[in-house]
Every structure is written in structure tokens, then in C-alpha cells.
Amino acid sequence: MRKGFRIIFSIIVFFNLSCSKDDENIEKNVPRRYELSQIEWKLTEGDSQEIIKKELPEIYFKNDSDTILPVVIEPLNGINGSSEFNFNDSIRFSELNYSPVKVSITGEIDLLSNSYSYLGGGLKVNLQQEESSFAFQYFFKNSTNLNPETELTSTYILYLKKNKASFRARFREINTGEIIELEGSWTGIFFNNLEGETPLSNIE
């Protein structure tokens, strides 16, 4: 009877060990998948806001007919803001099996301090190392009528806010709960204001 018990016990132990090894092999073969758990922001040395002056191409209209010509001027057409995240360990970030998600960014650098804090709501962009673009939250459109034998030349100066800040992102492995923390810097370009003039003149 004891001999039979030892044989059964050995079979059970061997079976359990085999199952454990099989489970370990399955876990090793399952690719790790990460998700963003949180992102924090702060200002460090070198982080700041800079105002950039950009002269836009002239917009020219000429009416050499004998009827009124309606014209529409949209100086910001085709111009967008941008966002770019740069991870200190870019290789480690690129190796993460991670699907990009949108995170909040700010055009108001004064919202940040030298201590980590969270941003919520407002403009959101993908957390990725490649530069991404977004539409300005401001729209400018000038409609006018150009009389016969007149012309106009619109000139505009666009002022942009270039914001630089630092961030800390935490990623969680979906199956194991492992946490990876990566830091980096961010640069965002935002609309600040627009100045321009549209003088009319007779065709010579």
C-alpha cells in the first residue's frame, strides 16, 4: 500500500512540475503589451516659452474687369500647430509594445511649475516620438469686395508660442502589472496672435 502511494505521489508531483514549466514557457512566449498609466509635467532648466515671429507669404488679388470681384482672405489656411515628444531613452520607448493614446498638452506654460503635476482636458495629441500636428484653435477669415480696376496685397505677420517642458510617463504591462517609467522633453508650437494689413490701390 505504501509503495502504491509513493508511485501516485510521484506521478502527481511530476505532473505539477510539468504544468509549471509549461505555464512558464507560455508566459515567456506571450509578447508583453504596455499601456500608459499616467503622464506628469514640470519645468526644468532650459524649459521656457519663446515667441516666434513668422512673416507669411503675400496674398495678392487683382480685378481688371468691369464688375465687382468678391475675395476671401484666409492667412492661416494650411498652417498648423505641432507637438513633439522626445524620450531620454528613445530606444527603450521604441521597444515598448504600446499603442499610442492621446494626452493633454498646454499652450499656457504658466500652468506648469518645477514640481510634477497633471494636465487634464483641453487640447490632446498622441504620445509619440514623431512630430504630430493639430489645427489652431483660432480661425481668421476676411471677406471683401474688390472694385473694378483695383488690386490688393495682404501682408501678415504670425506670432507663435514655442513651449518647452519636461514630462514623466509611466507604462504598465497589461498582464504582469510591471511598471516602466520614462522621462523626456516636449516641444509644442501654438498660435499667439496675427497682425496684418490689406491696402487697396488702383491698377496703374
pLDDT value at position 28?
A: 56
Nearest CA-CA partner of 192 in 163, 164, 158: 158
> Could you report the average pLDDT of every consecutive run of 10 residues in the chain (204 residues)?
45 43 51 93 95 96 94 94 97 92 94 94 92 91 92 95 97 95 97 92 82
C-alpha dist (Å) from residue 195 to 51, 111, 140, 189, 199: 14, 26, 11, 18, 14
Phi and psi, residue 13, nearest 5°: -60, -45
First to last CA, the chain: 119
10 SS3 class: helix
Nearest CA-CA partner of 155 in 34, 61, 29: 61
* CATH domain 33-202 topology: Proaerolysin; Chain A, domain 3 (2.170.15)
Name the residue ranges covered by the structural domains of the chain. Answer: 1-30, 33-202
Report the DSSP beta bridge partners of residue 193: 159
Q: What are the tens digits of pLDDT across the range 127-137?
A: 999 899 999 98
